[in-house]
Amino acid sequence: MTIAAHCLSLSKIYGDGDTRVTALDAVDVEITAQQFTAIMGPSGSGKTTLMHCLAGLDSVSSGQVWIGDTDLSQLSDKDLTRLRRDSVGFVFQAFNLVPTLTALENITLPMDIAGRKPDQEWLDTVITTVGLGDRLKHRPSELSGGQQQRVACARALASRPTIVFADEPTGNLDSKSGAEVLGFLRKSVDEFGQTIVMVTHDPNAASYADRVIFLADGHVVDEMFNPTSASVLERMKAFDSKRA
Amino acid sequence: MFRAALRSLGQHKVRLLLTLLAVVVGVAFVAGTFIFTDSLKQSFDALFNAPQPDVTVSADSAFATGGQGGGPGSGAEQVPTVPASLLPSVASVNGVAAAYGVVTSTGALVLGKNGKPVGTAGPPARGISWLPDSSINSISLVAGRAPTGPHEVALLEATSTLADAGVGDSVAIETPAGHLTATVVGLVSRGIGGSDGGTLTVFDVPTAQKQMLGNTDTFTSIAVKADPGVDQDVLARRIAATLPAHTKVQTGAQRSADIANRLQTAFGFINTFLLAFALIALFVAIFLIFNTFSMLVAQRTRELALLRAVGASRGQVRQSVLAEAAILGVIAAAVGVLGGIVVSQGLRLLLGVFGANLPAAPLVIQPRTIIVSLILGVGITLISAYIPARRAARVPPIAAMRDDVSLPSKNLRIRGIIGIVLVLIAVLTAVSATRHLDDNLRATQLVGLSAICALTGVIALAPILGRWFIGLFGAPLRRHAIGNLAVENGRRNPRRTAATATALAIGLALMTAIGVLAASTKASVASVVDDTIGADYIILGANFQPFRPDVYQAVKNTPGTSTVTFTRQLPLSVGDSQGVLTGIESGKFQKVFSLTMDSGSADNLLPGDAIVDSDTANKLGLTLGQNVPVDYVNGPGFLILRGTYKPAGPITGWIADIQTLTDAGGRDLDSAVYIRSASGADPAAVRASLDQELAAFPAVKLQDQASLKDQINQQFDRVFGFIYALLALAVIVAFLGIINTLALSVFERRREVGLLRAVGTSRAQIRRMVVIESILIALFGALVGIALGLIYGILFRKVLESVGITQLAIPTGQLTWFIILAVVGGVVAALWPAFTASRLDVLKAIATD
């Protein structure tokens, strides 16, 4: 099994003195390639921070992060930007799309910025899979929330990145649209061998993953393979009771 | 609600700063104009407090007293005089303590060490007599003593500095009577601590008479000091009773009132002229303020909705936005008044650069200045913020709960229809103007109306035009993602882009129209010189002052010349209309100057015969052969009209034989000498001989056709340069607007910028995106402005054809510069917003709150 990304004793500390908050405390995580990994945890557990650090969006206070063979701590802002552009895909909870661009333009945006021609065959495959064939000329404001997230997913996959990070991709969607998006992410792992890391607090969303990493108070506290909604919910309840 | 307004101002400090700046610039211009003219007025008021004669006796002439009017010599300068024999009879009037002959005239050129006249071209070079009684002399000695005898002079301090000749030094002076070397024995000041830039040479009375008037039988006036206790008016009446006709008796008070009147008119004009430009800058600022408030309101939609949700009424929301505007307006106006002090000094410098030297003046800030500035500053801000405030009040309370809200925005269709209607009216009035070219005033008014309709129409259409324009010009940029994003950003909010670009368009439209008129005027002058002046060389006096006939004598037999002839000029008036009578050597003149006759003939003009330009003839309703009664400086006369000519070229008005002028009492001073080379003569040799002959006459200048055109062009350049400098202010305000719009847009789109950064857009690419958008907005504004300016420049030129702007010239070089400057300005305006955008924190930008 190949490792798509990993971090070693990764710490992230915000603020100083009285306001000092340790968001991540010496975290070691390995993300297996061609797997769907979910990161779960209660609010404030550090799951979003972990994703941002893994994706090269945020700097780390100490420790190291690799995507593939690249050590992110060695990269300048320029190199990090290029890495995000060429090797990483993103799906955010909201504000995923540039409102002035059409759906298709949004999908090819990272490649357009790089000045690269998209692989047409692959692009068609992705578009067919997300089921947006007839809405490609539409602007985001003319798409439903679910459609917008599917466009975002297509964008994340279109450049064949090493790894795709999704931050609460279904957070703003109704359950039917959410299921469509999650189904698509699942499919991209199964059919295209894509590596996906998804941050979520929804046990149902996590049940689509191959593996769930549980975070609490900046530590990795547990992990679970082939989860179901019920098993994840059970595990989450344990956090709540421990807190109480 | 008021507290909320204050808070919100505090929160948007940086963003409001630019808005503030726009109002400040406009208000400072208004305040500066008032301060400048008030100060200038005050400095002239000081003049009236200087000692002056109780009663002055001068010739009763339609013409302003020489030396007092202060305008640059027209070449026809001739001072009205009174006979010296009047002095004893005035002195013997009961109540007169003393009476003095006074000479005040122009044409005393002080030569510097290099033999060239000192001082700038324009303000007069005066030569006056010393008035020995300091209680009635407005000029006072500050060093040395008063001049006595034919070889002593006193100089104005500033003149002495210019000529580098202090007390005890010798100085060379060119006067109407000849060349004079004199010793400087004293320095004088004019009592107002400065000068108008002209030079001043003081002689004793007989010397002044000889040098300035060419005789000892006349004075320009007689200054009277009254016995103690004698009323000025009473004395004036007594003196008048003893004097012959054609003399004028004025009391000191009357003279003051006279001068004050003239200054009032002049300052009124300057004030209005400058205020017009200030208002243009303020008008441009309206767009900037409007944009800023629209965007601030849009950004605060949720906050405003929250206010509504917790119970604030629509009125309260509107008032809170307006309160913000009012506070901003007050601050801006206050800073603007302070800025006005700087602007007033700037205007003084600017006028100095463009050739007008003004007396040093105290700083006068009248309450009126502050009140007008405050009203304008606050008023403009409130007007600009009113629509955004109304829009803010329409935010539904529910918007507070929604995630992405946009303000209700009206369809552009109504705006489009209004715009098209206005443009149609503009076209119709313009067409109608071209059909009324014979009625100058009406045509000008129609073109003016058309221009206003076109401008407002284009402002209304600008959002539609802008989308279209940016789409079209941006098309080639779309091939790349960054270019495509920039183009889309320029198009996404057409109203905002339009308001920003329109501000620039207004300034550039005016500059372009002025540019077309300037270029056309110059081209017309050049063509007139080509068409009318057959002479190869023309000798003109420095400052267009008349010069001694010796010059003609010296050059008339220069080898290589075929015709050498001179002209003289004399002011005259026909009824109420003043003009100039040019005396020519009949027969010779036609060889160096081509007149196109509309009627009659210019050949064989006998003494008493005259021709006049057709315009003047029409205006006065004159017919051929008519005996026209005229007034000369020294009395009435008659001219028989023998022909009319097409007005063109440097000579207009009445033309008669030299003898006619001599008979009318004209001085033996020439206004120009025209020289035509013999065919086949070597131009370099002719020029060299002429230069050699003229070396002894520093007060005249030898011009060929090219340098004559240059000299005339320089005068136009000065005027147009001044107007450009004033319009530049409006353009600067417009660029402030671009900075502001971009900065606010970047802030508004920070999420989007964050997203772009997250998916791999580099900082440099973000910067490029903002810069391209800025360039597109600036180009749109510039091209719309230049197009409007071109259309109306051409139309106004067409209308002004009948007053002599016969040629149309498009200053393509200049217009190219405007476009280049717009692009450069666009880049510069984008620097700060682009930098801010590229430094946005990606995580903060994409964080969901």
- Per-residue pLDDT of B498-524, as tens digits, reads 888 998 999 899 999 999 999 998 888
Question: How does the average pLDDT of chain B come out, rounded?
Answer: 84
Q: What percent of chain B has pLDDT over 70?
A: 90
- Per-residue model confidence (pLDDT) at position B151: 92
- Per-residue model confidence (pLDDT) at position B120: 60
Q: Dump the DSSP string for B753-786.
A: HHHHHHTT--HHHHHHHHHHHHHHHHHHHHHHHH
- Per-residue model confidence (pLDDT) at position B776: 93
Contact B759 A115 (CB under 8 A): no
Nearest to B496 by CA among B260, B781, B232: B781
Q: What values do phi and psi take at B149, rounded to 5?
A: 85, 165
User: If you average pLDDT over residues B245-259, what whole number do you get?
Assistant: 82
- Per-residue model confidence (pLDDT) at position B410: 60
Q: Does residue B278 surpass a pLDDT of 70? A: yes
Domain residue limits at A138: 3-243
Count the alpha carbons within 13 Å of B227 in the hemisphere toward its beta carbon. 9
Our CA-based measurement puts residue A18 at a distance from the nearest CA of chain B, in whole angstroms, of 22
H runs (alpha helix) in B394-543: 413-435, 440-474, 481-492, 494-532
Q: Which residue has the higher pLDDT, B86 or B257?
A: B86
ipTM for the predicted complex comes to 0.87
User: If you average pLDDT over residues B271-299, what whole number do you get?
Assistant: 81
- Per-residue model confidence (pLDDT) at position B129: 92
Tell me chain B's radius of gyration from C-alpha atoms: 33
- Between CA A129 and CA A138 the distance in angstroms is 18
Our CA-based measurement puts residue A209 at a distance from the nearest CA of chain B, in whole angstroms, of 24
Q: Dump the DSSP string for A176-218.
A: HHHHHHHHHHHHHHHHH---EEEE-S-HHHHTTSSEEEEEETT
- Per-residue model confidence (pLDDT) at position B421: 94
- Per-residue model confidence (pLDDT) at position B830: 92
- Nearest CB among A78, A84, A168 relative to B758 is that of A84
Judged by a CB distance cut-off of 8 A, whether residue A21 touches chain B is no
Q: Does residue B279 surpass a pLDDT of 50? A: yes
Judged by a CB distance cut-off of 8 A, whether residue A116 touches chain B is no
Query: At B119, is the secondary structure helix, strand, or coil?
Result: coil
Q: Does residue A92 surpass a pLDDT of 90? A: no
Q: Does residue B404 surpass a pLDDT of 70? A: no
CA B465-B466-B472 angle, 5° bins: 90
- Per-residue model confidence (pLDDT) at position B826: 92
Asked whether B386 and B322 are in contact (CB, 8 A), the reply is: yes
Contact B760 A82 (CB under 8 A): yes
Q: What percent of chain B has pLDDT over 90?
A: 21
Contact B480 A112 (CB under 8 A): yes
Q: Residue A63 — left, alpha, or beta (φ > 0 → left; ψ -120 to 50 → alpha)? A: left
Pick the range with the lowest mean pLDDT from B404-418, B454-468, B471-485.
B404-418
Judged by a CB distance cut-off of 8 A, whether residue A136 touches chain B is no
Q: Which residue has the higher pLDDT, B190 or B682?
A: B682
Q: Does residue B403 surpass a pLDDT of 70? A: no
Contact A113 B755 (CB under 8 A): no
Q: What is the pLDDT of residues B785-809, one digit of tens each?
A: 999 999 999 999 988 887 778 889 9
Question: Which tokens belong to B477?
Answer: 């940029």
- Nearest CB among A78, A90, A93 relative to B758 is that of A90
Q: At A178, which CATH number?
A: 3.40.50.300
Asked whether B242 and B187 are in contact (CB, 8 A), the reply is: no
Judged by a CB distance cut-off of 8 A, whether residue B840 touches chain A is no
- Per-residue model confidence (pLDDT) at position B193: 42
User: If you average pLDDT over residues A179-208, what whole number do you get?
Assistant: 91
Q: What is the pLDDT of residues B392-401, one digit of tens each?
A: 888 777 766 5
- Per-residue model confidence (pLDDT) at position B70: 32
Q: What is the pLDDT of residues B30-48, one digit of tens each?
A: 888 888 888 877 777 766 6
| Chain A residue with the nearest C-alpha to that of B839 | A77
Helix H or strand E encompassing A147: helix A145-158
pLDDT band, very low/low/confident/very high, at B385 (cuts 50, 70, 90): confident
pLDDT band, very low/low/confident/very high, at B71 (cuts 50, 70, 90): very low
Contact A113 B403 (CB under 8 A): no
Domain range list for chain B: 1-50+253-409, 61-244, 462-531+707-849, 549-696
- Between CA B196 and CA B379 the distance in angstroms is 38
**% helix, strand, coil for chain A, step of 5:** 45, 25, 30
Question: Which tokens belong to B498?
Answer: 């339009």
- Per-residue model confidence (pLDDT) at position B67: 35
- Per-residue model confidence (pLDDT) at position B14: 63
- Give the list of residues 6+ apart from residue A201 with CB closer than 8 angstroms, or none: A40, A41, A42, A43, A47, A168
Pick the range with the lowest mean pLDDT from A232-236, A240-244, B479-483, B505-509.
A240-244
Contact B848 A95 (CB under 8 A): yes
- Between CA A67 and CA A55 the distance in angstroms is 8
Size of interface A-B (CB pairs under 8 A): 76
- Residue whose token pair is 């406009």: B26
Q: Does residue B13 surpass a pLDDT of 70? A: no
- Per-residue model confidence (pLDDT) at position B121: 58
Residues of chain A in contact with residue B756, where contact means CB-CB under 8 angstroms, are 98, 109, 113
Q: What is the pLDDT of residues A42-71, one digit of tens each?
A: 888 888 889 989 988 888 889 999 998 889
Residues of chain B in contact with residue A110, where contact means CB-CB under 8 angstroms, are 759-760
Q: What values do phi and psi take at B187, rounded to 5?
A: -120, 140
Contact A95 B758 (CB under 8 A): no
Our CA-based measurement puts residue B488 at a distance from the nearest CA of chain A, in whole angstroms, of 6
Substitution target in B491, B493, B759, B772 with the highest count of A β-carbons within 10 Å is B759
Nearest to B633 by CA among B105, B11, B19, B24: B105
Count of domains for chain A: 1
Give the distance, in angstroms, between the CA of residue B98 and the centroid of all CA atoms in the same chain. 44
Q: Does residue B192 surpass a pLDDT of 50? A: no
Question: Which tokens belong to B218?
Answer: 């006349």
Pairing of strands A163-167, A196-199: parallel
- Per-residue model confidence (pLDDT) at position B356: 59
- Per-residue model confidence (pLDDT) at position B122: 58
Q: What is the pLDDT of residues B308-339, one digit of tens each?
A: 877 778 888 888 888 888 888 898 899 999 99
